[in-house]
């Protein structure tokens, strides 16, 4: 539980920092950066909660998420220059964030009795749409639609999770396997420059 919570915090923080780093490129004021940081970190979960009707949305009922994001924002501001020197470590956090967000998204869908394929889609929305929101607000075509394997890793991990629960494996085993799959595929895709074909 402690480790799971720690990973969750790391995931949220990584998403937040990726938002702050993107905002730094755009000459926003410090408040604009704060909003982009929040939108990136909570965007996916917010869209998920809104379309399944889980309102007020999760971050409104949870002081920890807010604190983690705000802390990440302050860290990003103060260590702005240093952050540029370890993009790879950030990418590892981001992959962990993607893995956890995906599984949480699938779980929320299962809780409201949605069909398995919809739950997998919901996992992907949770994992990816914070980044989509960040890019749309910053007036870019979303990176996730152009970058190497990202949303696909989320879909595969989500599908694996649903299959594992169906076997059934114990929930903890299923989620560990699924998170590891998302993180593994994502990191391998970056390492070996896997890409989906362009059309």
User: Residues in the site for a second copy, rule: CB under 8 A?
Assistant: 23-24, 26-33, 35-36, 46, 49-53, 55-57, 60-61, 63, 66, 77, 80, 109, 112, 114-115, 117-118, 122, 132, 136-142, 144-146, 151-152, 195-199
Report the residue number, 30 or 167, with the smaller CB distance to a second copy. Answer: 30
Residue 71 tokens, joined: 């802390």
CB of 13 to a second copy, least distance (A): 18
Smallest distance from a second copy to CB 77, Å: 7
Q: How far is the CB of 34 from a second copy (least distance, A)?
A: 9
Distance between CA atoms of 63 and 79, rounded to whole angstroms?
Answer: 24
Rounded-to-integer distance, Cα 87 and Cα 84, Å: 6
SS3 19: helix
Q: Maximum distance among all alpha carbons in the chain?
A: 51
Residue closer to a second copy by CB (options 26, 170) is 26
User: What number of other Cβ atoms are within 10 A of residue 28's Cβ?
Assistant: 14
Return the structure tokens found at 67: 């604190």
Residue 144 CB, shortest distance to a second copy, in Å, is: 8
The DSSP secondary-structure symbol of 197 reads: P
Nearest approach, Cβ of residue 21 and a second copy (Å): 11
Which CB sits closer to a second copy, 26 or 89? 26
Do 39 and 53 meet the contact criterion of CB atoms below 8 Å apart? no
Q: Which is nearer to a second copy, 31 or 85 (CB)?
A: 31
Which token pair is 115? 């069909």
- Minimum distance from residue 132 beta carbon to a second copy (Å): 7
Tokens of 96: 């962990």
What distance in Å separates the CA atoms of residue 164 and residue 86, rounded to the nearest whole number? 35
């Amino acid at each position: 539980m402690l480790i799971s919570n720690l990973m969750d915090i790391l995931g949220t923080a990584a998403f937040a920092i990726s938002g702050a780093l993107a905002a730094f490129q755009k000459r926003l004021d410090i408040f604009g950066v704060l909003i982009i940081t929040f939108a990136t970190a909570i965007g996916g979960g917010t869209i998920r909660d809104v379309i399944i009707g889980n309102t007020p949305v999760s971050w409104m009922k949870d002081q920890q998420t807010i604190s983690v994001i705000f802390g990440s924002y302050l860290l990003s501001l103060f260590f702005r220059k240093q952050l540029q020197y370890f993009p790879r470590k950030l990418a590892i956090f981001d992959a962990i964030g993607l893995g956890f967000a995906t599984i949480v998204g699938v779980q929320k869908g299962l809780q409201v009795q949605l069909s398995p394929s919809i739950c997998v889609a919901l996992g992907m929305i949770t994992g990816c749409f914070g980044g989509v929101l960040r890019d749309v607000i910053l007036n870019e075509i979303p990176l996730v639609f152009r970058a190497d394997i990202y949303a696909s890793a989320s879909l595969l991990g989500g599908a694996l999770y649903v299959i594992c629960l169906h076997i059934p494996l114990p929930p903890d085993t299923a989620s560990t396997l699924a998170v590891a799959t998302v993180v593994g595929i994502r990191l391998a895709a970056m390492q070996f420059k896997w890409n989906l074909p362009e059309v």
